[in-house]
Amino acid sequence: MSGPETALYGFAALLALIFLRVPIGAAMALTGFCGTWIVLGSPAAMLGQLKSLSYDSFASYSLSIVPLFLLMGQFATRSGLSAALFAAASDWLGHRRGGVAMAAIGACAGFGAVSGSSLATASTMGQVALPEMRKRGYSPALATGTLAAGGTLGILIPPSVILVIYAILTQQNVVKMFLAALIPGLVATLGYMGVIAIYVRVWPDAAGAGMRLPLHTRLRSLRAVWPVAAIFVLVIGGIVADWNWFRPGVQALFTPTEGAAVGAVATGLYALATGRLTRAALSGALLATASGTAMVFFILLGAQIFGAFVAYTQAPQALSAWVAGLGLPPMAVLLALLLFYLVLGCVMDSLSMILLTIPVFFPLIQSLDFGLSPEAVAVWFGILALMVVEIGLITPPVGMNLFVINGMSRDIDVTKTYAGVFPFVLSDILRVGLIVALPGMALWLPGL
């Protein structure tokens, strides 16, 4: 059996283990270990590699950004920022038909700027916005579909844990990845609001409109959300802005890791100032951060073992050669990969998809000529991969955001949530097509 054939069987075995509900990290580690044994004919090489692989993976300075951003999200969740964001957005948009749903989307985008996690954004905003939408007579489909889709903004609006992992895997600049995600993130937010506007025109009974508040009341509501803007500007501005005018010779105030630490401290201090960071809340935040970090690192270790197996089979090189032999246009190959991501997203979570596929797909993408520099292609493909992975979070049967939101409203049939999220999926696909056709939307800010 050739190496590429062995890799193909390895992928099939991995998917079978996932369907059998084996944890994804364990499934990748087991498949990678057994596959390496078959390729090399002995387990000794893999056992020898394990001695250093786990340490080399977890001792990386770059990975320290992951628990820091997770901790920042935990502090943001416990500080009441989500409720303040939703209240402010609702005051400004609630008088429109479907305005509360639009406010939920805006609040999700704002919370994503201090969270970096899709599931955290969906669950936190769901607790705040879902009861309000149901109280105002929103249809179950629109209410749950809006919040499931809005949660995906948590990994698209920087800072994003998934973007950090992608940057580490492909050895790209985290700062440029954050910058590249800004415009697509804003387009996604406006696109979701547009979907809601169209939805309530087609089905007027799906949502109502509230009373328009005086301007001074709306302006007063903004006072409660200044911490979000301040933390976002502090962290992202400190990482990406050119501060040479302020401190000669200093391009940025923080490295990404330092920025994550500053953001975690700032969010923690705000939570402490509000009186919500009790001893129990602090303990819960630290435990949740430790649990989330352990999950990410365990999946990362499994991906490293599986990646070593794939590398031994020479499958990436064989795939690149095979695609080159087909003579397909680079854009056709890219669209095929994005379609594969859409299908894979129906059965796998976002982090696992990135860790599993990037070691195979990234060399293939880099070997194609899109008329862009290798670095630009890497950044552009990273944003596209992130967006199609984001779609996987809201597509059945595994869409994690769907289950998070539906778990908060068990009286709503999950099929209604599927129906409600479908227009948002169409919006996502349209946005992916837009970024494919206009790479400058993702590359303009990094190019500056």
DSSP state of 255: -
> Quick one: pLDDT band at residue 189, thresholds 50, 70, 90?
very high
Low-confidence winner among 103-117, 211-225, 253-267, 299-313 (lowest mean pLDDT) = 211-225
Specify the amino acid at residue 335. L
> Quick one: pLDDT band at residue 196, thresholds 50, 70, 90?
very high
Burial class (CB in 10 A: 0-12, 13-18, 19+), 396: middle
pLDDT at 391 over 80: yes
> Quick one: pLDDT band at residue 423, thresholds 50, 70, 90?
very high
Q: Which of 44-48, 164-168, 186-190 has the highest mean pLDDT?
A: 186-190
Handedness of CA 214, 220, 222, 225 (dihedral sign): negative
- What's the whole-number mean pLDDT along residues 324-331? 81
Higher model confidence: residue 325 or residue 379?
379
Tell me how far apart the alpha carbons of residues 274 and 276 are, in angstroms, rounded to a whole number: 6
Tell me how far apart the alpha carbons of residues 228 and 224 are, in angstroms, rounded to a whole number: 9
Low-confidence winner among 224-228, 283-287, 384-388 (lowest mean pLDDT) = 224-228
Higher model confidence: residue 129 or residue 209?
129
> Quick one: pLDDT band at residue 393, thresholds 50, 70, 90?
confident
- What's the whole-number mean pLDDT along residues 316-334? 80
Return the pLDDT at 398: 65
> Quick one: pLDDT band at residue 190, thresholds 50, 70, 90?
very high
pLDDT at 250 over 60: no
Higher model confidence: residue 395 or residue 185?
185
Burial class (CB in 10 A: 0-12, 13-18, 19+), 295: middle
Return the pLDDT at 216: 73
> Quick one: pLDDT band at residue 296, thresholds 50, 70, 90?
confident
DSSP state of 241: S
The neighbour count for residue 253, using CB atoms within 10 Å, is 18
Please provide the DSSP assignment of 281-307 as one string.
Answer: HHHHHHHHHHHHHHHHHHHHHHHHHHH
- What's the whole-number mean pLDDT along residues 366-386? 90
> Quick one: pLDDT band at residue 382, thresholds 50, 70, 90?
very high
- What's the whole-number mean pLDDT along residues 334-353? 81
Return the pLDDT at 438: 92
- What's the whole-number mean pLDDT along residues 120-130? 82
Return the pLDDT at 20: 83
- What's the whole-number mean pLDDT along residues 94-105? 84
Higher model confidence: residue 290 or residue 296?
290
Return the pLDDT at 377: 92
In 3-state terms, what secondary structure has residue 442?
helix
> Quick one: pLDDT band at residue 381, thresholds 50, 70, 90?
very high
Low-confidence winner among 108-117, 192-201, 208-217, 386-395 (lowest mean pLDDT) = 208-217
Return the pLDDT at 244: 53
Query: What's the whole-number average pLDDT of the chain?
Result: 83
Largest CA distance in the chain: 75
Return the pLDDT at 221: 76
Confirm if 318 and 126 have CB atoms less than 8 A apart: no
Return the pLDDT at 407: 77
Higher model confidence: residue 407 or residue 370?
370
Q: What tens digit of pLDDT does each residue of 206-243 get?
A: 777 667 778 777 778 777 778 888 888 888 777 776 65
> Quick one: pLDDT band at residue 380, thresholds 50, 70, 90?
very high
Confirm if 115 and 156 have CB atoms less than 8 A apart: no
